[in-house]
Amino acid sequence: MEKTVQTDFFIIAGEASGDQQAADLVKALLKRKPALTFHGIGGDLMRAAGVSLMHHISQFAFLGIAEIVRHLPFIRSVLRELDSIFKNNPPRALILVDYPGFNLHVARRAKKYGIPVIYYICPQLWAWRERRVKEIRNYVDFPIVIFQFETEFFARHGIQAHFVGHPLVDQLQNRQPGSDFKRRNGLDTRLRILGLFPGSRKKEVETILPVMVQALTELPDGLEYQAVVGKASHLSLDEYRRLIPRHVPLKIIEENSHALMANCHGALVASGTATLELGFLQKPMAVLYRVAPLTYLITKRLVKIENIALANIVAGERIVPEFIQHHMQPGKLAAFVARLWQDEAFYQQIQSKLACIRRILGPPGASERAADKILEFLREKRPPSV
């Protein structure tokens, strides 16, 4: 980054879902002010939207305490880089997108140099680590939330949060493909699709995809389906292929995974944003999650809610099953998939209950509303800047 040119926004997203949300926000901001400049940390979508990347999200794909510890030298190096940027060539504002474990450290550093801190998709402190609300109060100037109930949570802690709705609504409505999806991807037009979504981090895929593949081998003979893996854009095909035995009939789709979600009959999915996406589309699913035992024990002590799948959390009940840690067994997954395919009443019951998610996520336009609020905030805070 040239030290003689001030960047308008430094924006950070540390994982695939955040890359999408950040890219949409950047597009909305540029629509309003085409001359704005962006540097940051993110993925291919942010780069395509106009962000000059300092680091790519593929370098931040940590899962679990052991991996974080192993990558501490890299994390500290990045934080030192950011310190230098904030001190010597500060942006007019910092936008953080989700990814609280890293982003709250960055917020503290930016605040030290008087840089306005905007947090888009504020950490879900209502679910776990509520004590970190003090960090939001101390280091974040403008928190933006995507669920209405989050404004009430932050208000109880003396923080005014700004609700804009959920950006997934636009992404899922705008990216649903036509009826030729199967033909376009070389799939059998007569068979229903079982979507496999093993996550976006390399370690996550290595842990979860083999269990999904094993579950396929335990499905009843004669079950008519075709299994398709939704590939994370920043991971290579080879990283998936080496986890799939040649005798298992499994196709990998490199197209936007939302297209696969919209066209699948049911799914096996790693816990994360994808559960909310599938829930919005009313696709029955089983949710998988497994991390190192120590990481799980520590996380379990911190989490205050019963469910871990966002679809279940938002709905306020366990609509779809969660197979966590030692319960993530191929036989259990196979039994669930078989019932989805064979028991129409069971399938429709889940689908009907998932309908509430579309209502809870609110109307489209979240990125547009967030862009308007950000620019309004900066005009009030620093009139000459943006």
Summarised one tens digit per residue, pLDDT across range 193-249 is 999 999 988 889 999 999 999 999 999 999 999 999 999 887 889 999 999 998 888
Residue range 313-329: average pLDDT? 93
What mean pLDDT is reported for the chain? 89
Residues 48 and 196 in one domain: no
d(C-alpha 212, C-alpha 198), whole Å: 8
Residues 88 and 150 in one domain: yes
CATH number of the structural domain spanning residue 281: 3.40.50.2000
Residues 116 and 199 in one domain: no
Does 343 or 69 have the greater pLDDT score? 343
Long-range contacts of 144-148 (CB under 8 A, 24+ apart): 144/118, 144/119, 144/120, 144/370, 144/373, 144/374, 145/121, 146/121, 146/366, 147/314, 147/360, 148/362
Three-class secondary structure of residue 142 per DSSP: strand
Residues 190 and 321 in one domain: yes
Q: Tell me which range, 71-85, 109-123, 125-139, 302-316, is most confidently predicted by mean pLDDT.
A: 109-123
Residue range 270-294: average pLDDT? 90
| pLDDT at 356 (0 to 100) | 95
| pLDDT at 255 (0 to 100) | 66
Q: Which two tokens stand for residue 277?
A: 């996406």
Percent of the chain beyond pLDDT 70? 89
Could you tell me which residues are beta bridge partners of residue 97? 13, 120
| pLDDT at 254 (0 to 100) | 79
Does residue 2 belong to any structural domain of this protein? no
d(C-alpha 51, C-alpha 97), whole Å: 14
| pLDDT at 296 (0 to 100) | 61
Residue range 293-304: average pLDDT? 60
Range of the domain at 116: 9-167+365-381
| pLDDT at 2 (0 to 100) | 43
240: nearest Cα among 267, 209, 270: 209
| pLDDT at 14 (0 to 100) | 86
- Our count of domains for the chain comes to 2
Residues 262 and 306 in one domain: yes
98: nearest Cα among 165, 182, 203, 21: 21
Phi, psi dihedrals of residue 336, rounded to the nearest 5°: -65, -45
Does residue 298 belong to any structural domain of this protein? yes
Residues 147 and 254 in one domain: no
Residues 181 and 163 in one domain: no
Does residue 4 belong to any structural domain of this protein? no
Three-class secondary structure of residue 90 per DSSP: coil
Residues 146 and 195 in one domain: no
Does residue 92 belong to any structural domain of this protein? yes
Q: Which two tokens stand for residue 330?
A: 């191929």
Residues 214 and 329 in one domain: yes
Residues 137 and 176 in one domain: no
pTM for the whole thing?
0.79
Does residue 1 belong to any structural domain of this protein? no
Residues 372 and 333 in one domain: no
The model's pLDDT over 1-47, given as tens digits with 9 standing for 90+, comes to 444 567 999 999 988 888 999 999 999 999 999 999 999 999 999 99
Contacts (Cβ under 8 Å, ≥6 apart) of 73 = none
Residues 344 and 369 in one domain: no
The model's pLDDT over 176-198, given as tens digits with 9 standing for 90+, comes to 555 688 988 999 999 999 999 99
